Amino acid sequence: MRKMFAPAGVLVAIVASVAAMATVAVSGQSPAQSTVTFTKDVAPILQRSCQSCHRPGELAPMSLMTYDDVRPWARAIKQKISDHQMPPWFLDPNIGIQKFKNDPSLSDAEVALISKWVDSGAPMGNMADMPKPRQFDDDTKWHIGTPDLIVTSPPHKVPAEAPDWWGQYYVPSGLTEDRYIMAIESKPGKRAVTHHLLTYAVDPNDMDTSNAADDSALAGGEFLNEYAVGKNGDVFPEGTGRLLKAGSVIKFDFHYHAVGEEQTDQSQVAFKFYPKGYVPKHVVYSRQLAGPQEPLDIPPGAAMVRSDGYTRMNLPGVLTAFQTHMHTRGVKQCLELIYPDNKTEMINCSNFDFAWHIVHVYGDDVQPIYPAGTVLHVISWHDNSPASKGNPDPRNWVGSGNRTVDEMGFAWISWYDVSQEEYQAMFDARKKAQQRTTSSTQQGQNQ
């Protein structure tokens, strides 16, 4: 029937768009006070959206914890937030779904507030207005909370100067009974030398110690989690999980690169489990999907070279998160759904910065749903021109490959499958919600 193949994500985007417009309408109000101060107005914004990275011991180049920390950088902060380079959240705000669980971006009103503060001389204000300092876990703690199980890789020495290294280490999990994972996080010991870390659950009888490349066709085992800059772990949606079988061996799949100083890395993967005996309703998957249909062919000096990749989803399902993946010449990627009736919907577009591998986690009520036979279409753009930020050498031709100087163009997609009946129930609920929102909007306009 026609309605079984309707582009369900359209309903999500409409509801999300209406909600976003309402949010902007409220947050866009001008601040009542005439003087904007650090203690009362700016510090709370920095605490929420900036200090996770901009504090001692983290990767950001300066601390933004106190007024004395912030004041010398005031004009640079204004420029970065006005250009939407910071906080790192590169989604196009005019395309597709805009409601995410982990969105740190500033509203237009917040950008205007900080800009006004800078333009007025960046006054400190009254210390009595200063919010309590934000408390952070020590770097040895985990973003997913206290783990039930931690598995540690052997130490690996990365020389000061050396070619990139790809390889695997196998470590017994020590798990004595099957458990479903509710949250998982991988953490390198030395982030500077760890390009990325993938973890897999492997049957002891199926271990492959040949140090194969870590693409999905060769890696083997059941994928668990990825670490890359900007990723803090996966917390699965309620009622979903991933099975870790008793006796599993954890495969640590590394890509190391030298940084001019010898360092020894020892990484870990941490698990939080559902209670013993609990079986989630759905199994959530994460895969590298819709890579370029043809090997990348990026000529020297070429700007904005497009590639397209496709993956057919054989069952109805729900998308829970996506992450762009390219290398230093990657600039933008879009995720589109092609429905079985050939209608298309652009779900999201995001700019790309190699320093920030951001997972975009959809809000529960706007997760894209799709019928069986839907095709995920990933569109990637690479820039090999001299103007490309971070381009190692625009004189070189660039193709597909695992080295940092090579290129990729797939998306990490997280999803779970549902039955046809579940999909239809979700579709009908989304349609009713959209109709209620449309009716409410029309009534407001007529008043």
DSSP string covering 193-244 = GEEEEEEEEE-GGG---S----STTTS-SEEEEEE-TT---EEPPTTEEEEE
Give the model's pLDDT for residue 58: 75
Give the model's pLDDT for residue 19: 43
The verdict on 260 and 307 lying in the same domain is: no
Residue 295 in contact with residue 400, Cβ under 8 Å?
yes
pLDDT of 214 higher than 60: no
Last residue of a domain, one of 251, 277, 303: 277
The verdict on 194 and 259 lying in the same domain is: yes
Residue 184 in contact with residue 234, Cβ under 8 Å?
yes
State both tokens at 386. Answer: 């001299």
State both tokens at 148. Answer: 């039930």
Q: pLDDT per residue over 177-191, tens digit each?
A: 999 999 999 999 888
Q: Is residue 137 part of a domain?
A: no
Give the number of domains in the chain: 3
Range of the domain at 200: 143-277
State both tokens at 243. Answer: 């099975």
Last residue of a domain, one of 66, 101, 129: 129
The verdict on 103 and 171 lying in the same domain is: no
Q: Is residue 136 part of a domain?
A: no
SS3 of 292, please? coil
Give the model's pLDDT for residue 7: 44
Residue 206 backbone phi and psi in degrees, to 5 = -115, 15
Q: Is residue 134 part of a domain?
A: no
The model carries a pTM of 0.81
| DSSP annotation of 28 | T
Query: How sure is the predictor about 123, in pLDDT bands with cuts at 50, 70 and 90?
Result: very high
> 51: alpha, beta or left, given left = phi > 0 and alpha = psi -120 to 50?
alpha
Mean pLDDT computed over every residue of the chain: 87
